[in-house]
């Protein structure tokens, strides 16, 4: 078990380069199953979720060659419809995309219910609704999702009851090789959905409308190989931007698409953070003045992203005045608040609403990363706090942040990754 040791109170300065988007990569890799030739994927983030998916693909028969930490070649010509190892699948939420990919290529899929971070109920009913609209029969049996389309998938019309990123992407993947036209309405519009469509189109798919609320997929007979470069990670960039907001200092965030950051930069500017945009970079500066309060409501893109909610709350815990945060996407995303309160934050949670009364400073202590983005928030809190902070369960953080310790060290942070001895304490089971 590893943990991060942080000595806070240092402003950040320098340049940080953003990696490829996790949320794009974890959909693009399963989608490679549909491609008969070799896919070359560039700007791939070197994170544990990506490494798990590459391991799953190799188990299924794919020829996976990692040419560098950020470039991989995948040939799925010899992939067989194997059941992916349940122990791997249950460690990652994005394994659900294997259902759409296998169903699209083989007409059958059997995948263990996906895992990943827990911050509320995240059913896949909208995914299933889409598969059924294309002629599949889907059952959830003994912890597995089984989907069958013996005659192959056909085009269908799907109206999503809620705006779901996962369902939008999974239905797109399944529809690529289906017979006829599939129309998906009430789609999510996130940048990584557009990136998935661009990847599939580069391989020969016919997808239009990605980035709008209606996506049309006209099925093709085959996908062939090609090259695709993954977009920069909006959430990673936002995390470093909020770190500067919390600690002070000035950094240049490189390898980003500033337009993707609008929803985040708008809130930081409201809080008094100076932001200067360039073609592929943003400078973020915070002077001596305290942060200002603001209200935040998470929304589907182009609204404020739920994956940035813990990070912005950490900043608002240090802002002057009272801020109100409303979480409209997930029903249990405030588990980390108790950790911030242990550090001295004054935050009250009532359902999906958190009320934050800014405090002058946070005090370092031992905290846990309850999920990926909550873990990033703990790191930000530690960087801003007085004294030493220990962040445990950092495997959650490393699911989605490439070399976060190294990147922060380069910005002047006093942070290190250390190995902790496993806990050998035996506890009596209750109940």
Banded pLDDT at 265 (limits 50, 70, 90): very high
pLDDT band, very low/low/confident/very high, at 317 (cuts 50, 70, 90)? very high
Cα gap 216→354, rounded to integer Å: 38
Same domain, 138 and 116: yes
Residue 410 lies in a domain: yes
pLDDT at 431: 43
Of 186, 203, 229, which residue is a domain's last? Answer: 229
Tell me what pLDDT residue 63 has.
Answer: 97
Q: Could you report the per-residue pLDDT of 318-332, keeping only the tens digit for each?
A: 999 999 999 999 888
Same domain, 211 and 284: no
Residue 115, pLDDT score? 63
326 and 303 belong to one structural domain:
yes
Do 239 and 259 lie in one domain? The reply is yes
Helix (H) / strand (E) element for 259: namely none
pLDDT at residue 254, as a whole number:
98
pLDDT above 90 covers a percentage of the chain that reads 87
pLDDT of residue 93: 76
Q: Are residues 268 and 251 in the same domain?
A: yes
What is the pLDDT confidence band of residue 424, given thresholds at 50, 70 and 90? very low
Cα–Cα distance for residue pair 165/23, rounded to 1 Å:
10
How high is the pLDDT of residue 426? 39
Average pLDDT on 326-345 reads 95
* pLDDT score for 415: 98
Q: Are residues 315 and 340 in the same domain?
A: yes
Residue 425 lies in a domain: no
In a domain, 353, yes or no: yes
Q: What is the pLDDT of residue 423?
A: 53
Does some domain include residue 430? no
Task: Tell me the residue ranges of DSSP E strands in 11-124.
Answer: 12-17, 38-42, 63-68, 71-75, 108-112
**pLDDT band, very low/low/confident/very high, at 425 (cuts 50, 70, 90):** very low
Q: Give the pLDDT score at 91.
A: 82
Residue 242 lies inside a defined structural domain of this protein? yes
pLDDT value of residue 117: 59
Domain that holds residue 99: 22-216+225-229
User: Does one domain contain both 343 and 259?
Assistant: yes
* 177 and 258 co-located in one domain: no
Binning pLDDT at 50, 70 and 90, where does residue 1 land?
A: confident
pLDDT at 114: 73
Residues 39, 117, 187, 315: which is the catalytic one? 117
Q: How many secondary structure helices (H) and strands (E) does the chain include?
A: 13, 23
Is 25 within 8 Å of 236 (Cβ atoms)?
Answer: no
Do 102 and 148 belong to one domain? yes
User: pLDDT value at position 83?
Assistant: 78
Whether the predicted pLDDT of 243 surpasses 80:
yes
pLDDT of residue 112: 87
Give me the mean pLDDT over the 328-348 stretch: 95
130 and 236: one domain? no
- Which has the minimum average pLDDT: 5-14, 136-145, 151-160? 136-145
Distance CA 264, CA 122 (A): 24
Question: 229, 257, 281: which is the final residue of a domain?
Answer: 229
CATH number at residue 210: 3.65.10.10
Taking the alpha carbons of 309, 315, 318, 323 in that order, is the dihedral positive or negative? negative
Model pLDDT for residues 64-118, shown as the tens digit of each residue: 999 999 999 999 999 987 677 788 888 887 889 999 999 999 999 999 887 655 5
N- to C-terminal Cα distance for the chain? Answer: 28
Residue 427 covered by a domain: no
188 domain residue, yes or no:
yes
pLDDT for 180 equals 98
Number of domains in the chain: 2
pLDDT at 428: 36
Flag whether pLDDT at 160 surpasses 80.
yes
Quick one: pLDDT at residue 116? 55
In a domain, 431, yes or no: no
Task: List all residues 6 or more positions away from 144 whose beta carbon is below 8 Å from its beta carbon.
Answer: 83, 86, 110, 111, 112, 113
Q: Please tell me the distance from the alpha carbon of residue 369 to that of residue 339, in angstroms, as a whole number.
A: 9
Q: Same domain, yes or no, for 26 and 12?
A: no
Residues 9 and 26 in one domain: no
Active site residue 117: yes
Res. 373 pLDDT band, cuts 50 70 90: very high
pLDDT score of 344 more than 90: yes
Q: Alpha-carbon dihedral of residues 242, 248, 251, 255, nearest 10 degrees?
A: 0
Final residue before a domain boundary, out of 179, 208, 229: 229
| Residue 89: per-residue pLDDT | 86
pLDDT digits (tens, 9 = 90+) for 163-208: 999 999 999 999 999 999 999 999 999 999 999 999 999 999 999 9
Residue 150 has pLDDT above 70, yes or no: yes
């Amino acid at each position: 078990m590893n943990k991060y040791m942080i000595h806070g109170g240092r402003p950040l300065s320098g340049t940080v380069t953003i990696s490829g988007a996790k949320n794009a990569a974890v959909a693009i890799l399963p989608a490679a199953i549909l491609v008969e030739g070799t896919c070359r994927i560039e700007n791939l983030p070197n994170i544990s979720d990506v490494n798990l998916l590459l391991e799953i693909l190799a188990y299924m028969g794919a020829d996976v060659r990692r040419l560098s930490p950020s470039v991989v070649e995948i040939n799925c010509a010899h992939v067989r419809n194997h059941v992916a190892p349940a122990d791997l699948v249950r460690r990652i939420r994005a394994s659900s995309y294997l259902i759409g990919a296998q169903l699209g290529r083989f007409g059958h899929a059997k995948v263990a219910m996906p895992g990943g971070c827990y911050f509320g109920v995240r059913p896949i009913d909208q995914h299933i609704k889409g598969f059924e609209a294309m002629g599949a029969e889907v059952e959830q049996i003994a912890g597995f999702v089984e989907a069958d389309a013996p005659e192959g998938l056909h085009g269908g019309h799907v109206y999503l009851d809620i705006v779901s990123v996962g369902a939008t992407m999974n239905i797109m993947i399944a529809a690529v090789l289906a017979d006829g036209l599939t129309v998906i309405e009430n789609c999510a519009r996130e940048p990584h959905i557009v990136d998935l469509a661009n990847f599939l189109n580069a391989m020969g798919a016919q997808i239009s409308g990605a980035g709008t609320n209606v996506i049309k997929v006209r099925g093709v007979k085959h996908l062939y190989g090609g090259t695709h470069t993954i977009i920069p990670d909006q959430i990673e960039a936002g995390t470093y931007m909020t770190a500067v907001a919390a600690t002070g200092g000035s950094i240049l965030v490189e390898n980003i698409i500033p337009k993707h950051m609008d929803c985040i930069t708008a809130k930081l500017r409201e809080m008094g953070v100076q932001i200067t945009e360039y073609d592929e970079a943003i400078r973020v500066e915070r002077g001596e003045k305290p942060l200002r309060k603001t209200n935040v409501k998470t929304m589907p893109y182009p609204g404020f992203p739920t994956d940035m909610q813990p990070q912005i709350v950490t900043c608002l815990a240090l802002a002057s005045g009272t801020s109100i945060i409303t979480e409209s996407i997930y029903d249990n995303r405030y588990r980390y608040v108790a950790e911030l309160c242990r550090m001295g934050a004054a935050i009250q949670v009532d359902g999906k609403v958190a009320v934050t009364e800014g405090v002058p400073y946070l005090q370092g202590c031992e905290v846990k990363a309850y999920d990926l983005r909550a873990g990033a928030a703990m790191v930000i809190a530690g960087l801003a706090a007085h004294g030493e902070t220990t962040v445990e369960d950092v495997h959650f953080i490393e699911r989605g942040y490439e070399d976060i310790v190294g990147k922060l060290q380069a910005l002047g942070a006093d942070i290190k990754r250390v190995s902790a001895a496993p806990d050998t304490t035996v506890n009596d089971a209750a109940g």
